[in-house]
């Protein structure tokens, strides 16, 4: 097991390098980072050459990658090419917001999704099962941004009479991460009102996936031999489910959660844009629209790193949770 973990960790390091190297080549060769400067007639060729030299744009692309990596480690992704603002403070700020929304949404989706999946499997082909199967099919077909827009429209200001106000109090806000002047801390009432709708959007989309997987994996286990043995030796049904079925059915869900992470981050991009949330995803879209290539790169590298990390954790957890799996 230890050897497996060490090998798995060692294997993810080159993957991280190659993945970031490819996106670095791709981004830096497809887009001209100094395009804005070149178009400006007031900027002389001398200034341009100086800018090129200062940003190491005259180096060979392979060397430039290492210069860039070194910069990433030393200076936290350096400064934006557009406005010379430091990237690291922006990254930590926006990333914190996204992490809060994504983690909340995931926790809700996993808890409700697993609960619904379990019950659907225990009462297969019941009314409950059919209703949630229908719902999850709708969830799979639902574009994230459309769900976000619908929720936003339901709670938008001008539509009086819809349920954005309860007993004279506002429940949800439809844009932003805080009211002006409110503190930027994690669990204030104001913050929860603002992130309520984005969390609902992301949770609904992931819920559809988790409940289906949980249901399928529960059914697999329920029909297996050792469960029949447990029943045959007289274990009460509730105990069969809780002790024998659920722990084993949860194992594949671990992998699905990790593999779904990329999708959730994509969903976060769209959701944050709709709700104009000051998150990592909307920051990325803004940087991409403005052509701020170093900011785009930092987003790609950080998210790729997170996905690789979570795949690694899921793989290791899988081995720990399922002792039948032996790695050579």
Please count the CA atoms within 13 angstroms of the CA of 162 that sit on its side-chain side. 12
Among 1, 6, 26, 243, binds other proteins (CB under 8 A): 26
Cβ of residue 223: shortest distance to other proteins, in angstroms? Answer: 13
Query: What character string, x for contact with other proteins (CB under 8 A) and - otherwise, covers 94-133?
Result: ----------------------------------------
Among 34, 99, 112, 285, binds other proteins (CB under 8 A): 285
Cβ of residue 184: shortest distance to other proteins, in angstroms? Answer: 25
307 binds other proteins (CB under 8 A): yes
176 binds other proteins (CB under 8 A): no
Structure tokens at 23: 């996106």
Query: What character string, x for contact with other proteins (CB under 8 A) and - otherwise, covers 131-150?
Result: ------xx-xxxxxxx--xx
223 binds other proteins (CB under 8 A): no
Cβ of residue 281: shortest distance to other proteins, in angstroms? Answer: 8
Q: What residues make contact with other proteins under the rule CB under 8 A?
A: 15-16, 18-19, 22-23, 26-27, 30-31, 137-138, 140-146, 149-150, 153, 156, 158, 259, 262-263, 265-267, 269-270, 273-274, 281, 284-285, 288-289, 291, 296, 299-300, 303-304, 307-308, 311
């Amino acid at each position: 097991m230890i050897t497996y973990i060490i090998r798995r960790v060692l294997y993810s390091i080159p993957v991280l390098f190659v993945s970031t190297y490819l996106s670095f080549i791709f981004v830096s060769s497809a887009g001209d980072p100094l395009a804005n400067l070149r178009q400006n007639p007031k900027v002389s060729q001398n200034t341009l050459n100086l800018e090129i030299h200062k940003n190491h744009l005259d180096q060979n692309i392979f060397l430039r990658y290492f210069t860039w990596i070194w910069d990433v480690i030393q200076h936290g992704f350096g400064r934006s090419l557009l406005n010379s603002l430091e990237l690291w403070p922006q990254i930590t700020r926006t990333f914190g917001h996204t992490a809060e929304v994504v983690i909340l949404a995931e926790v809700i989706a996993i808890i409700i999704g697993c609960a619904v999946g379990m019950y659907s499997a225990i009462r297969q082909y019941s009314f409950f099962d059919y209703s949630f199967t229908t719902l999850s099919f709708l969830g799979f077909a639902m574009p994230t941004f459309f769900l976000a827009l619908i929720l936003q429209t339901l709670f938008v200001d001008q539509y009086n009479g819809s349920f954005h106000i309860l007993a004279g109090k506002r429940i949800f806000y439809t844009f932003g991460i805080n009211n002006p002047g409110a503190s930027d801390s994690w669990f204030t009432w104001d913050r929860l009102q603002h992130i309520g709708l984005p969390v609902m959007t992301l949770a609904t989309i992931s819920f559809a996936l988790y409940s289906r997987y949980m249901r399928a994996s529960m059914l697999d286990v329920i029909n297996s031999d050792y469960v029949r043995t447990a029943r045959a030796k007289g274990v009460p049904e509730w105990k069969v489910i809780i002790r024998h079925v659920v722990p084993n059915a949860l194992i594949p869900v671990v992998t699905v959660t990790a593999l779904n992470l990329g999708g959730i981050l994509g969903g976060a991009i769209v959701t944050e844009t709709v709700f104009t949330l000051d998150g990592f995803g909307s920051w990325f879209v803004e940087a991409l629209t403005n052509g701020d290539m170093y900011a785009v790169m930092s987003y790609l590298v950080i998210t790729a790193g997170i996905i690789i990390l979570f795949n690694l954790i899921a793989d290791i957890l899988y081995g720990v949770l399922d002792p039948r799996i032996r790695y050579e």
